[in-house]
Amino acid sequence: YTPRKRIKYLERTDKMDKSDDWSLILVNSRNPVPSDYSVRLEKVQNNHYVDSRIAAYVNEMIRNAEKDGVKLLICSSYRTVARQQELFDQQVDEYISAGKSYDEALAETATGLALPGFSEHNTGLALDIVTPSYQILDSNFENTEAFRWLDKNAHKYGFILRYPKDKSNITRIKYEPWHYRYVGVEHAAVIKEKGLCLEEYLEELQ
């Protein structure tokens, strides 16, 4: 943005009604996906699907990263609530097998995997992104060229790092350097500049 355009945008967001902006839907442990929510899906990389309204941004981001010598690999995108339930149950079982009680396993799982119906992946607006040379979903992804590229550029395509390292007390999800959420180019620019998580940004818009 030019400074003039940016100032106009910041003035506009102060009066914005976020309820009218589909890209700012808040889904977290306290806000489930609305029961009447529906999404029109479009295929992107490797048979992954996203909300059709963000597909062009996803494809452009992947193409431009590759032009810079960085390979972005989508490993998770839209999920049905039923699929989220399967993943959640699997993780709980793994923790129990490792010696945790059911309650401990449930609590531990919930810090890294949203409850079914409370996951951004159910909206079609979230992506888990890795790179061919590092496909493990852990904090060490931040040491890859792919993460460095995303950290510098993802907001230009409307995406934010949804669960930052220093915001877990707000998001209630542990640091996930691989999880990106579409909020729109203008919103993402402000969120990135101010170092906010989505919950904080929505509070500022109120």
Distance CA 28, CA 148 (A): 26
Describe the strand order of the beta sheet including 179-182 as a list of residue ranges. Answer: 73-76, 126-130, 179-182, 159-161
Do the beta carbons of residue 94 and residue 148 sit within 8 Å? no
Do the beta carbons of residue 36 and residue 179 sit within 8 Å? no
**199-202 contacts: CB < 8 A, separation 24 or more?**
199/26, 199/28, 199/167, 199/170, 199/171, 200/167, 200/170, 202/18, 202/24, 202/26
Catalytic residue among 120, 176, 193, 204: 176
199 has catalytic annotation: no
Distance CA 35, CA 87 (A): 21
As annotated, the active-site residues are 176
